[in-house]
Amino acid sequence: MARAATTSDAFNAVAEPRRRDILNYLAMQERSVSEIVDAMEMEQPSVSKHLKVLKGVGLVEVRRDGRQMLYKVNALAIRPLHEWTSTFERLWKHQLLRIKERAEARTT
């Protein structure tokens, strides 16, 4: 079997760096496709395709404004990723604590 589809879930969708770039850009405010194209320095069809994937997994929402399509982030769709990573927070804090302890042991 091949790799999982990027459209399958938010984890796959944000695995693509350009899509994270787009989400970062949209985090500031709602933007039209052409604004994204200018900011990202990507081809317009490429941006439209990435936006389609992001929309497919609910990471962005769109509304039409005349000839323009205005996209914005749906941050709630990112929360599951945040929660998954949070389950490891206890572990890395423990790691950092041990690193700190070792550093102090050396200085003492």
Q: Which two tokens stand for residue 79?
A: 């929360």
48 binds, among DNA, a copy of itself, none (CB under 5 to 8 A by kind): DNA
Q: Which stretch binds a copy of itself (CB under 8 A): 20-28, 34-42, 47-55, 63-71?
A: 20-28
Stretch 44-73: interaction string toward a copy of itself, x if CB under 8 A: -----------------------------x
Helical packing angle, 44-56 and 33-40, nearest 10°: 110
At a CB cut-off of 8 Å and minimum separation 6, what does 80 contact?
Answer: 10
Tokens 């609910």 sit at which residue? Answer: 58
Nearer to a copy of itself, 24 or 44 (CB): 24
Q: How far is the CB of 47 from DNA (least distance, A)?
A: 7
Displacement of CA 87 from its chain's centroid (Å) = 19
